Amino acid sequence: MFETIVIATDGSESVRRAVDTGLDIASRFDATVHCLYVVDENNTDSNKPLSDSDNDQMTLYEHGEKAVNTVAGRANHEVITAIKHGNPSDKIEAYARDIDADVIAMGTRGRHGENRFLIGSVAEKLVRTAPLPVLTVRQLAADETDERLSGTPERM
């Protein structure tokens, strides 16, 4: 059913459960996992001097490396990592199409925090426009538990 899974991460704590869910699905189906981080070019200030913008891009790239390496470190098997530059929803969709992915797994909120939208703008756009399934997983509130991932036998 699932042979290739893309796990999109922005490195925030809010995607941890989505990463765990994507890796769990990959393990169950013995799927190839690709982890993707997109350096959002809209996150840098074009009014800054060039050297400052270069430093911002490098910092975002380093953050991306840390994010994809964290996902790879949580996996029980090899994870193919990638870092792209551009509009996150466009790059995630293009990457998933390019590798002929079966599903994209991602969190519902990212760097922009709880008050951004009920579902993050990147996830919302992908759900509406991607030509393949998009699995969105919300991070649980502090008072909620995820029995499925904590060892209690429960079917997905």
Kindly calculate the radius of gyration of the chain based on its CA atoms and give it in whole angstroms: 16
pLDDT, tens digit, for every residue of 25-74? 999 999 999 999 999 877 654 444 444 455 566 688 999 999 999 999 99
Look at residue 148 in the predicted model and tell me its pLDDT: 52
pLDDT for the residue 44: 52
Task: State the pLDDT at residue 145.
Answer: 59
Question: From CA 70, how far away is CA 20, in angstroms rounded?
Answer: 11
Residue 46 confidence (pLDDT):
45
Q: What pLDDT digit, counting tens, does each position of 87-137 carry?
A: 999 999 999 999 999 999 999 875 444 444 445 789 999 999 999 999 999
Query: Could you give all domains of the chain from N- to C-terminal order, each with its CATH number?
Result: 4-137 (3.40.50.620)
Read off the pTM: 0.79
**pLDDT at position 58, please?**
67
Give the separation between CA 95 and CA 76, rounded to whole angstroms.
23
Q: How far apart, in whole angstroms, are the C-alpha atoms of residue 126 and residue 144? A: 27
Determine the Cα–Cα distance for residues 30 and 40; give it in Å rounded to an integer: 31
pLDDT band at 13 (very low <50, low <70, confident <90, very high): confident
| pLDDT classification of 75: cutoffs 50, 70, 90 | very high
